[in-house]
A and B are shown apart, each in its own frame.
Chain A
Amino acid sequence: MLIDGPKQGNVIPDGFNPNYLKVYYGRLFPHADIFKWMSYGNDGRHPACDKSYFGRREFSFTLDNDIYLRFQSFNSESELENSIKEKCPSKIDIGPVYSVDPAKRHAYAQGGDNVFAPVERELIFDIDITDYDDVRYCCSGADVCLECWPLMTVAIKVIDTALRDDFGFDHILWVYSGRRGVHCWVCDGKARRLTNEQRGAIADYFRVYKGNENSNKKVSFPGPLHPFLVRSYTEVLREFFEEKLLLSQNLFSTEERYEKILSMIPDESVTSELRGKWQENRRSSNSKEDINFFRWEQLKNTLQSGKQKVQGLRRCVEEIVFAFTYPRLDMEVSKHRNHLLKAPFCVHPKTGRVCIPIDPKDCEEFDPTTVPTLSELLRELNTGDSRMDVDNEWEKTSLGKSIRFFRSSFLQPLLKSCKEEMESGYKAKIQQTKNSLSW
């Protein structure tokens, strides 16, 4: 098809179609890595390996004509790979590991001892920038640009730090969702074995924004902040709000915009004082300073001036900062173990971009507008050095960087830890049987 053609011009028009996908799944998609990941060490030779583990994982495929195939399962890497290559799904979702092979689920009763139910599932988070539409003015809906993308960066920093420092998790993968958000996969054994209730508790721990267009105040801090919120504020949110967001979103530049912020202040005397200042002074006397920055300072001074002893104003500044910048998670995605989530390295049908991992330590450098697209990758394959002797063709393309990162930062440490866990668990079991036998 395309690749056999002459190398001049290299006309691979942009787009997303089954032909491109076929090449992608045939030569670039990292089937082996996904298999190794999903096996969590059970594909080895150790006696503690559970040979049924991978086969109990649910995958789902969305096919080109919007047909949705759920409860797909595979018993080996080659089965997985062949099925993907054959069906060429426009989207691959990953579900939980069930108690039995999903293909056999109908044989199991609803109740009783042998149920068909999830037993393991990564702790996942889904952050979508459309949930921030009420606080970003540059874009709305499915659009994303470099002015509002930093909201995602901030979300990653806050959540990632909490997952590691507070919850003690180590094996965390952040992935670009392909268009307008990010996904997070927490893969520690402890995380995979969490119940729905425990996942709900973690999601609630992260929940700050409450409410919708029907309520006025979406963020409310009745008392001093919890250490997690304090840390998020002092290390990430305040600086981001004051030094980036204020300016990039022009939060105070028009009446409509500053009224939105004023509606978050529950004190008439404060809001009318500020409104008075801003309505008159179209051009502030310090015209050098940006109007947003200037008005924000005025707001802070008025609130913190101590004239107002009204309760509810003490943390108004923090409430405003959190309302604009604090991560907004989709609670339902995290709470239920049977929720499906798109697999990394899929290609987004609407943008053609690959869902590549994001390094949380370097997330400020991530640019969604330069993520490799399907057609770009195919062009790279075409123009790539055919003499290059590589094990994998993705090394010839910009996908190489992402896959190498996936392996070194995430997969290898994870598999090492799985192996250790398996070995020590096994030793403990042997010891236990020895003990019980020694009577």
Chain B
Amino acid sequence: MEIVRSQRSRTNTPNDSVSTLPLYRYAPQLEVRLEDFEVFAMDRLRVLKGISDALARGKRPEEMENLVRDLWKANMRHPEASEDVNKDIISHFVLRLVYCRTEDLRKWFLSMETALYRYRFLLGSSEAKRALMEEFDLPCKAISRTEFENAKEKLEQVARSFDQPLPTADAIFYKVPFEEVPELVAGRRVYIHKGHAYVAMHQVVSLVVTQFRSNLSKALILTNRKWTSTIREQEKDRLTPIVEALSMSYLGPDYSQTKEFGEISIKDLDQLARSSFPLCMRHLFDKLREDHHLKHGGRMQLGLFLKGVGLRMEDALAFWKAEFSHKVGAERFDKEYAYSIRHNYGKEGKRTDYTPYSCQKIISSTPGVGDHHGCPYRHFSEENLRAALGRMGVGSRAMEDVVDKVRNRHYQLACTLTFEAVHSSSCDAGINHPNQYFSDSHKILQPKVEIVI
């Protein structure tokens, strides 16, 4: 792909086939204007961000399909219809550059592009689907009549378990090694026998998506290498600033570099927990004080949050040690738990400075027996949630609004309403990150504290 300045781009449309999705295998042999480089990328980014928000709000697949169709139509149409495909491909490759640079960026981009691909695939015609499947070279084989008869009862059970219509006599099923369709296996959406999954025609998307994801994942690593070794330096006056700006504008601050580092001390924590922690962190904090212990998931979620809040490593170690000592003793703490706290601050092992978890990550986690992490709006029973919100000081009017949001699976909106109720002030941006909740809260409450002193 060649980036040129303000020239009419001469595009010899390589016909990747108008009706099928592109495979994004190779950067296209095109010339791209510098302005288009940025604009195309931003348009695509709007689509990806829209998908990201929708997923965080727990939208159902049918809703997602419509959303993707609308987002794509609104953002990715080119004035010259024949240029649509090029815009698609170019924007994808530009964003690869933008999002290859760290693991968190890669993970986000991978998830969103995969979701986008999935829904675009589903929106395509059966002919388009079949053609694309051939392009992907997938290890699946249609089952014979006899195989179908033998498995029929089980296939019907699976269909019923998801309220799907029962397979008809001429239904096509593909037999695929189970490891090729991990998402279907994970959701128990397929019948598996002797290592083979029986995949229905409408589920075939899973195969395609898994391959797409795997290919893109590898490509991003390669792109990162190229970026770090040659492109970034070569393009430092032209593309690099654009690339770096693009990623910042949409993901927002990640709270890994706190400006107010060291301003929070241990003795403030109890009071801060009551006044400024979001419910998820307050719950973890209270449980820690109560049980003098937290399981791994809880330690990570709360520990990284506290780091983002400005707790220094030495204070963090003292804090956790004081709590855990009640349960496991100081010595055992030093042996078994101190290491991972230091690890979180980037002082051990790979020395990665881990970033506090965003709402999206927390909502999608799965707390199990004895765990207290995850998003309480998602996991608490209504009764427990009401009690917890009551303890936070949420009034009965606001409580109903919050519970209503929860019933509709809008967990972040529920948290935002809680914030507004507790602080008696509005939060227009909406809560996307526990540390955002904290810093917004701190901003509102702090001026008062200063005056008191």
Contact = CB atoms under 8 A, between A and B. Distances in A.
**A and B: interacting chains:** yes
Interface of A: 66, 110-112, 131, 133-134, 165-169, 190, 194, 197-198, 200-202, 204-205, 209-217, 223-230, 328, 331-332
Interface in B358-386: 366-372, 376, 379-381, 383-384
A230 B162 CA distance: 14
B157 interface: yes
Contacts of A201: 179, 182-183, 185-186
A198 B161 contact: no
Given A214-B376, A226-B161, A227-B154, A168 B183 contact: no
Nearest to B159: A224
Contact of A216 (B194, B224, B296, B383): B383
Nearest to A131: B369
B195 A226 contact: no
A225 B163 CA distance: 11
B193 A214 contact: no
B178 interface: yes
B366 A223 contact: no
Contact of A111 (B186, B191, B194, B225): B225
A168 B185 CA distance: 14
B192 interface: yes
Interface in B213-227: 221, 224-225
B160 interface: yes
A230 B160 CA distance: 12
B390 to A, nearest CB: 15
Contacts of A134: 369
B391 interface: no
A121 to B, nearest CB: 14
Interface in B183-230: 183, 185-188, 191-196, 221, 224-225
Contacts of B380: 214-215
B163 A204 contact: no
A205 B160 contact: no
A17 B160 CA distance: 57
Nearest to B335: A66
Contacts of B384: 214-215
A111 B220 CA distance: 12
Contact of B381 (A165, A215, A227): A215
Contact of A328 (B162, B187, B296, B369): B369
A165 B194 contact: yes
Contact of B369 (A111, A168, A212, A223): A212
B208 to A, nearest CB: 16
Contacts of A332: 296
A-B complex: 7 closest residue pairs judged by Cβ atoms: A168-B195, A201-B182, A204-B186, A201-B186, A168-B194, A216-B381, A224-B160
A224 B380 CA distance: 25
Contacts of A217: 381
B10 interface: no
A331 B296 CA distance: 12
A165 B193 contact: yes
12 contacts: A198-B179, A201-B185, A204-B185, A205-B192, A211-B367, A212-B367, A212-B371, A212-B372, A214-B376, A328-B368, A328-B369, A332-B296
A112 B225 contact: yes
A274 B367 CA distance: 32
B192 A167 contact: yes
A196 B192 CA distance: 20
B157 A230 contact: yes
A217 B370 CA distance: 15
Contact of A200 (B186, B193, B367, B371): B186
A166 B225 contact: no
Nearest to B373: A212
A227 B155 CA distance: 8
B368 A209 contact: yes
Contacts of A110: 350
B191 A227 contact: yes
B413 interface: no
A435 B419 CA distance: 69
A225 B188 CA distance: 10
Contact of A215 (B162, B188, B379): B379
Interface string B223-257: 01100000000000000000000000000000000
Contacts of A205: 185-186, 188, 192
Nearest to B210: A197
Contact of A212 (B179, B182, B188, B368): B368
B143 interface: no
Nearest to A198: B179
A155 to B, nearest CB: 14
A261 B148 CA distance: 40
A214 B379 contact: yes
Contacts of A197: 182
A210 B366 contact: yes
B158 interface: yes
A334 to B, nearest CB: 12
Interface in B326-349: 335
A331 B370 CA distance: 13
Nearest to B194: A168
A214 B381 contact: yes
A193 B99 CA distance: 29
Contact of A167 (B178, B296, B372, B381): B178
Nearest to B379: A215
Given A201-B186, A216-B381, A229-B188, 4 more contacts: A205-B192, A210-B366, A224-B160, A226-B188
A166 B161 contact: no
A225 B369 contact: no
